[in-house]
Copies of this chain bind each other. A is one copy, B any other.
Amino acid sequence: MSIDTLVRDLQLDPETADQLFRTARTAREFTDTEVSVEQIRDVYDLIKWGPTAMNIVPLRLLVLRRGAARERLVPLMAEGNRERVATAPMTLVLAADPAFYQHMGTLFPHAPQVQEQLSQSPEACAPMARTNALIQAGYLIVGLRAAGLATGPMNGMDFDAVDAEFFAENGWQSLMVVNVGYTEGSGTALPRLPRLEFADAATVL
């Protein structure tokens, strides 16, 4: 399949297709250019519209600027990830909120019984939160790239320790860390790894 065919079928300009997926890479090195909280907020305000089951939108963000709070995260990362978390212009801890049902009066106002039912089933809420927050994590990575930012997602970390350090009060459950910034070139010296072909990843019936 040629690139021309791809672009025609996608109804997406090639530069955007590259920016969001095709040439974007997981960044390992960022420039010193800062990333603002306002930029992260704007990305959130874009991707919050992505669909989730019953509109529960359980993704939560711990936004760690440079400073003391970031330093508390560094030792909880796997050793190979510490330097990158310590030096990234911005670091996000993505988390799921198992108590998302507290917001259902706002999020699902036409069915008030749903909040009551969910509040009585915490064992059902935790996996619902995780499943849908992970889908939203996909939206977020695309949204950060849409904002011209490079991302460095990583899950080599002590999740329980992160939850204890940062989420003891609100009960959020960490999913991954995403470093955010700008890069020179691709932001990585690693070669692009292959992906599975459609024929190996899909069954057509």
Chain A residues at the B interface, C-beta cutoff of 8 Å: 1, 5-6, 9-13, 16-17, 20-22, 24, 26, 37-51, 53, 55, 57, 59-65, 67, 69-70, 103, 106-109, 131, 134-143, 146-148, 151, 153, 155, 166, 170, 175, 193-196, 198, 200-205
Q: Would A51 and B26 count as touching, CB distance under 8 A?
A: yes
Q: Would A50 and B138 count as touching, CB distance under 8 A?
A: yes
Q: Would A194 and B107 count as touching, CB distance under 8 A?
A: yes
List, in ascending order, chain B residues with CB within 8 A of A55's CB. Answer: 193, 195
The closest CB in chain B to the CB of A108 belongs to B193
Say how many copies of this protein the assembly contains.
2
Q: Would A50 and B134 count as touching, CB distance under 8 A?
A: no
Label chain A's interface by main secondary structure. helix
The closest CB in chain B to the CB of A170 belongs to B203
CB distance from A66 to the nearest CB of B (A): 11
Given A41-B198, A138-B142, A193-B107, A203 contacting B151 (CB threshold 8 A): no
Given A49-B22, A107-B196, A135 contacting B141 (CB threshold 8 A): yes
**Distance, CA A46 to CA B63, complexed state (A):** 29
Show 26 residue pairs from A and B whose CB-CB distance is below 8 angstroms, ordered by the A residue.
A1-B42, A6-B45, A9-B147, A12-B46, A12-B147, A20-B142, A20-B146, A22-B49, A26-B51, A37-B204, A41-B202, A50-B138, A51-B151, A60-B201, A60-B203, A63-B203, A65-B204, A106-B194, A107-B196, A109-B194, A131-B134, A134-B135, A136-B138, A138-B140, A142-B142, A166-B203
Given A103-B196, A106-B196, A196-B103, A57 contacting B147 (CB threshold 8 A): no
CB distance from A158 to the nearest CB of B (A): 16
The closest CB in chain B to the CB of A195 belongs to B48
Q: Would A57 and B201 count as touching, CB distance under 8 A?
A: yes
Between A9, A22, A53, A109, the greatest number of chain B beta carbons within 10 A of the residue's beta carbon is seen for: A9
